[in-house]
Structure 1
Amino acid sequence: MTEAQGVLGRRRAARLGLAALLAAGCAPTSGPAPLDRERATALLDRRATALRERDPAAWSATSATSTGQDGLWARLAEVPLAGWAYRVTGVRADSATATVEATLRYRLRGEDPAPATARRLLGLVRHEGRWRVRSEEAAPGAAQLLWDQGRVRARRGSWGLVLGTGSAGQVREFARLAERAVPVADDAWGGDWPRRVVVLVPGSLAGTAALLGGEPDAYRGVAAVTTGTPEPGTPADRIVVNPEAYRELDSRGKQFVLTHETVHVATRSVTGPATPLWLSEGFADRAAHRAAPRPLPAAAPALAAAVARGEV
């Protein structure tokens, strides 16, 4: 090799080395790994653990939002949770944002013998070099949870649990109604039932419909609805209140409605789609009327008027 060839070789090597250095310098900096189901599951597991243990630092490490008044952390502050866990069912992601579909399983402490489930949609963003949760809401077509509608107040006792998004006074009022309703239902039915109720009090008719997964018109004028199943190993029934219809009732009517719905909770294990409506509703009415008797014309004015006209 001549001296000229050696010089050319060294120059070529230098140029190649410089090109490699420049390429390395221009390469994008490493960021969070692409989000897949495994990584989404790990993130939501950490989030669930932080919520169960009420660890604000751990929660903040998974969240793109603060633990302030409007966040899920604050909205759940008074809710007595015995369980909270996600099962990821789908992930859609790009370089900066992601949408995660998941099934939430949660239990209310002292009330739910088994977890309640809800389909959820979580929005994620890349934040400070990590994937974090920006939002959580009901999945399309799924019913809302009470804390989707605002901060929840709680009141509990030997009779069960009231959760509401309204004022503390409103929650106390329903607690008093529930305290009177449970012994009446137990006296009328007895049997094997928890002798406790869970009452959900949203802030509006629209909120009631959202909790039940329906349209507001379907519940207009309906003061309360009880949801549940007679199957064993299921969460506790929920009595879902329509506050707008409740406001139209007098004190006796308010107590009657909640006692009626509590009787449905008591009889849940032996009733189902095959139970005649006149039997299940009639028994609940009878028990509630016995606790707050009133003359027939006041209890059933339309019927009394029809009988008076001879329209038997």
Structure 2
Amino acid sequence: MADQGSPGRGTVWRRRAWALVATGVLLAAGGCAEPAPDTTSREIQRTLDSRATAVLRHDEAGYLAALDGELRASGREEFANLADVPLRSWEYRLTGVRRSGDRATADADLRYRLDGYDSAPVTTARTLELAVRDGRWYVTADRAGRGGAQQLWQQGDVQVVRGTRSLVLGTGRDLARLRRIAADADRAVPQVSAAWPGRWAGRVVVLVPDSLEAMGRLLGAPAAGYRGIAAVTTGRGERVIVNPEAYDTLSAFGRGLVLTHETTHVATRADTSSATPMWLSEGLADWTAYRAAPRPPAEAAPALHRAVRTGEVPAALPTDADFRFGADAEVLGRAYEGAWLACELIAERYGEAALVDLYRAVPREGLDEALREVLGASRAAFTAEWRAYLRHRLLPSR
């Protein structure tokens, strides 16, 4: 029985129920209602999906329908530049949206695949400006996002040459020159497969911009750092990008060496990580190239040959900093040459399979543990062996 001076339990619960009802009435009236969910991201994604569908369907009208203002003129040109590019997929994935009134800035990943060549999408960051009109968002600007770069089709009409094992995309180049590059790439692919038994696509995509400056824009880096560099592989190992000003000066042997080297980076990308030292990745690429076209060490390693001949045998394996583009040419030359001879040493004394095993083990184990596991040597012991090998190979009379 409840105390006479206190309300009973039933009374308490009735009061609480009436309080809840009153609260519900206030909410229904909008006094404390939550704001309607912001649908901006969903609406912008719908605009980008429409644009992507139009690209794949070669629908110019649909492509331009997603654009607004001055972007339509450049968009029409860009759409035409893409006409011959064999696309299997093209999509945008929003990573962030910032809205201010009827304007918005969207960060997105453009993901696309080339039909028959890309086993996974290539991703590049884009930043898009948009404006809303009559309830629909339109793209008003489209530029490279953080970590992104200009795309080849933004530089001009893309010409396409299909090799037996390669796809060459170029702008401002005559077809005969692109066909020659495709032939070089076709010869490089089986040479890489012979040296690298791992699973890889067995084909390569080569981009050929119109100039050194255009190459820099594709890489999102100052072009001056690539002067004299005939070709590079993008950081993720998806594309070989040719510097036409340097590549065209090479002999047939030089062109083959360059494309075999770069194609090796494409083949080994799945087994390469931040733990892989550049002397191993660059050395393996050069070893693969010279394996197919041997040259005397003094001829293939002139900078290191000059140093060793004067008693300047490197005290340590090349560091990653030694491989910086734009560095002193002599330092850069010695770095690449020393890396090649380190990999040649491993292949010659421990076996080619050991070189491949070491490369694969480094991302899992780290360099020191991989050296002990595969070669049975510490880093110090291997470095000493390498220094002796330099003398042996570059000063054969001793």
TM range (shorter): 0.7 to 0.9
Show CA shifts across 1:200-255 (max 9, x none): 222233332332232334333322222355xxxxxx72122222332343222121
State the shift of 1:49 in Å: 0.6
> What residue in structure 1 maps to residue 291 of structure 2?
290
Tell me the secondary structure at the aligned position of residue 182 of structure 1: helix
> What residue in structure 2 maps to residue 117 of structure 1?
123
The residue identity in structure 1 corresponding to 2:65 is A
> What residue in structure 2 maps to residue 165 of structure 1?
171
| Equivalent residues in 2 for 1:31-70, closer than 5 Å | 36-64=40-68
Instruction: Figure out how many residues of one structure are paired with residues of the other and give that number.
Output: 272
Greater Cα shift, 215-224 or 196-205? 215-224
Greater Cα shift, 64-73 or 185-194? 64-73
Show CA shifts across 1:240-278 (max 9, x none): 222233234322212101101112222233333333433
Name the structure with the higher strand share: 1
The residue identity in structure 1 corresponding to 2:54 is A
Q: 2:165–2:203: 8 Å Cα contact kept in structure 1?
A: yes
Q: Is the alpha carbon distance of 1:193 and 1:310 closer, same or farther for their aligned partners in structure 2, counting shifts above 3 Å?
A: same
State the shift of 1:175 in Å: 0.8
Show CA shifts across 1:42-74 (max 9, x none): 222111111111122322333346688962211
> What residue in structure 1 maps to residue 211 of structure 2?
204
- 2-structure distance, mates of 1:91, 1:306: 56
The residue identity in structure 2 corresponding to 1:159 is R
| Equivalent residues in 2 for 1:123-142, closer than 5 Å | 123-124=129-130, 131-139=137-145, 142=148
- 2-structure distance, mates of 1:293, 1:47: 50
State the shift of 1:195 in Å: 0.7
> What residue in structure 2 maps to residue 277 of structure 1?
278
TM-score for the superposition, normalised by structure 2: 0.60
- 2-structure distance, mates of 1:288, 1:213: 27
Q: 2:122–2:238: 8 Å Cα contact kept in structure 1?
A: no
2:159 to 153, 157, 176: 153
Name the structure with the higher helix share: 2
Runs of 5+ unmatched residues, structure 2? 1-38, 313-390, 392-398
Show CA shifts across 1:126-145 (max 9, x none): 78996543442212553222
Task: Work out whether 1:177 is the aligned partner of 2:181.
Answer: no
Q: 2:231–2:240: 8 Å Cα contact kept in structure 1?
A: yes
Task: Work out whether 1:223 is the aligned partner of 2:206.
Answer: no
Q: 2:93–2:108: 8 Å Cα contact kept in structure 1?
A: yes
Q: 2:189–2:263: 8 Å Cα contact kept in structure 1?
A: yes
State the shift of 1:147 in Å: 2.0
Larger RCO (alpha carbons 8 Å, 6+ apart): 1
Q: Is the alpha carbon distance of 1:147 and 1:127 closer, same or farther for their aligned partners in structure 2, counting shifts above 3 Å?
A: farther
- 1-structure distance, mates of 2:306, 2:282: 22
Task: Name the % identity.
Answer: 50
| Equivalent residues in 2 for 1:95-114, closer than 5 Å | 99-114=105-120
Tell me the secondary structure at the aligned position of residue 193 of structure 1: coil
Tell me the secondary structure at the aligned position of residue 192 of structure 1: coil
Q: Is the alpha carbon distance of 1:52 and 1:255 closer, same or farther for their aligned partners in structure 2, counting shifts above 3 Å?
A: same
Tell me the secondary structure at the aligned position of residue 47 of structure 2: helix
Q: Is the alpha carbon distance of 1:120 and 1:270 closer, same or farther for their aligned partners in structure 2, counting shifts above 3 Å?
A: closer
- 2-structure distance, mates of 1:141, 1:100: 15
State the shift of 1:289 in Å: 1.6
Q: Is the alpha carbon distance of 1:67 and 1:112 closer, same or farther for their aligned partners in structure 2, counting shifts above 3 Å?
A: farther
> What residue in structure 2 maps to residue 75 of structure 1?
81
Tell me the secondary structure at the aligned position of residue 191 of structure 1: coil
Greater Cα shift, 156-165 or 249-258? 156-165
State the shift of 1:112 in Å: 1.9
> What residue in structure 2 maps to residue 86 of structure 1?
92
Q: Is the alpha carbon distance of 1:295 and 1:149 closer, same or farther for their aligned partners in structure 2, counting shifts above 3 Å?
A: same
Q: 1:193–1:266: 8 Å Cα contact kept in structure 2?
A: yes
- 2-structure distance, mates of 1:288, 1:42: 47
Show CA shifts across 1:152-207 (max 9, x none): 22222331322222313332222111111001111122231111112222223333
- 2-structure distance, mates of 1:67, 1:77: 16
Runs of 5+ unmatched residues, structure 1? 1-34, 230-235
Q: Is the alpha carbon distance of 1:294 and 1:141 closer, same or farther for their aligned partners in structure 2, counting shifts above 3 Å?
A: closer
Tell me the secondary structure at the aligned position of residue 84 of structure 2: coil
Q: 2:231–2:241: 8 Å Cα contact kept in structure 1?
A: yes
Tell me the secondary structure at the aligned position of residue 259 of structure 1: helix
> What residue in structure 2 maps to residue 27 of structure 1?
none
